[in-house]
Amino acid sequence: MAFQNNSVSKSGLITTFSGSDIKCVFGNVEVGNLQGISWSVNREVRPIFVCGEPNALSYSKNKRGVAGSMVLTVFDRGALFDIMTKWSQVYRDDQTFHPGITETEGHTHTMVGARQAYYADEIPPFNISLYGQNEFNKQMKMGIVDVTIISEGAGISIDDGIQEAQFTYVARHVLPWRPLQGADSGTDVSMTDTVFNDAFTINAGTGEGDTVDPCTAEEIETCATGYPATAGCTAEPGACGSCVDPDGETCV
């Protein structure tokens, strides 16, 4: 007899996550030395004034910026050493440039080959994926898109029992936390589910954050009759995943 617990019988039970429940992936590399990461979104808002009136008549929204910071533990190598030396390629060679010396006439320019990154700011833009799964199998995910590191800092002290490195970055988008599909029902959801796919959207009219399979009406009809279907539909008879037809009926 299985023990009946509230995390399964009450699917809407509120659950939370701590830092020890969350893993972080840079690009496609899981980072095991992350201590903390933060992000912020700022919008430029300017007041509109006219002569003869001291108060703003309106406010104009303009540019938006995404930025943040992260702290990583330093063990026996730099905090991002493996990403910089194994998976980052930089096409420039600053060491060969001599200020004040120009190329001679007729000199043939040689294209610079790839080298490893020497600094964290040379790492190409990447996505950051955060996955949360607690001991009750509740799961969530979020993402930060096109992260570009702009500064790094580290140091040591006789009073420090641990070495750490700090990085600041800018990004293009932040995808907020979403519950993983199926997590509320207690079913297993693959933790390799990507954060950055076209299905990572909020359902129109529900706002629940469930994923939506990109099925067309023809694909749904094919899926319902049990014939092989294309993206988003299951080929098994009577099983179409979460595909819905244009009228909102579940494809079964």
Once rounded to an integer, what is the mean pLDDT over residues 127-144? 91
Cα R_g (the chain), whole angstroms: 25
Containing domain of residue 194, as a range?
13-45+61-89+120-198
pLDDT at 112: 64
Lowest-pLDDT range, 53-57, 67-71, 187-191? Answer: 187-191
**Residues 240 and 169 reside in one and the same domain:** no
In a domain, 113, yes or no: no
Give the global pTM: 0.66
Q: Is residue 107 one of the residues assigned to a domain?
A: no
The answer to whether residues 157 and 188 belong to one domain is yes
Q: Is residue 41 part of a domain?
A: yes
Does 17 share its domain with 72? Answer: yes
Based on the fold, state whether residues 75 and 162 are members of the same structural domain: yes
Over residues 60-88, mean pLDDT: 93
Residue 241 lies in a domain: yes
Judge if 69 and 128 occupy the same domain: yes
Mean per-residue pLDDT, 109-123:
80
Confidence band, pLDDT 50/70/90 cuts, at residue 155: very high
Please give the torsion angle defined by the CA atoms of residues 161, 163, 168 and 169, in that order, rounded to the nearest 10 degrees. Answer: -130
Q: Confirm whether 208 is domain-assigned.
A: no
Q: Is the pLDDT assigned to residue 228 strictly greater than 50?
A: no
Per residue in 162-184, pLDDT (tens digit) is: 999 999 999 999 999 998 865 44
Tokens found for residue 180 = 């993983």
Stretch 56-73: mean pLDDT, rounded? 96
Q: Tell me, what's the pLDDT at 213?
A: 40
Please indicate whether residue 191 or residue 38 has the higher confidence score (pLDDT). Answer: 38
Q: Is residue 82 part of a domain?
A: yes
Reported as a pLDDT band with limits 50, 70 and 90, residue 12 is low
Residue 114 lies in a domain: no
Average pLDDT, the chain: 74
Residue 189 and residue 84 share a domain: yes
User: Do residues 57 and 50 touch, judged by C-beta distance below 8 A?
Assistant: yes
The pLDDT value recorded for residue 169 is 97
Residue 19's SS3 state is helix
Copy the structure tokens of residue 250: 């579940």
Q: Are residues 130 and 246 in the same domain?
A: no
For residues 183 and 89, the model is more confident at 89
As a whole number, mean pLDDT of residues 81-99 equals 76
150 with 221, same domain? no
Number of domains the chain is built from = 2
Same domain, 251 and 134: no
Kindly tell me if the per-residue pLDDT of 69 is higher than 90. yes
Q: What is the pLDDT of residue 90?
A: 84
**Placement of tokens 């004040």 in the chain:** 100
Report, as an integer, the average pLDDT of 213-240.
43
> Are both 67 and 144 inside the same structural domain?
yes
The Cα–Cα gap between 57 and 47 comes to 7
Q: Name the CA dihedral angle for 51, 54, 59, 63, rounded to a multiple of 10 degrees.
A: 80
Question: Are 76 and 126 in the same domain?
Answer: yes
Per the domain annotation, does 51 fall within a domain?
A: no
Are 73 and 124 found together in one domain?
yes
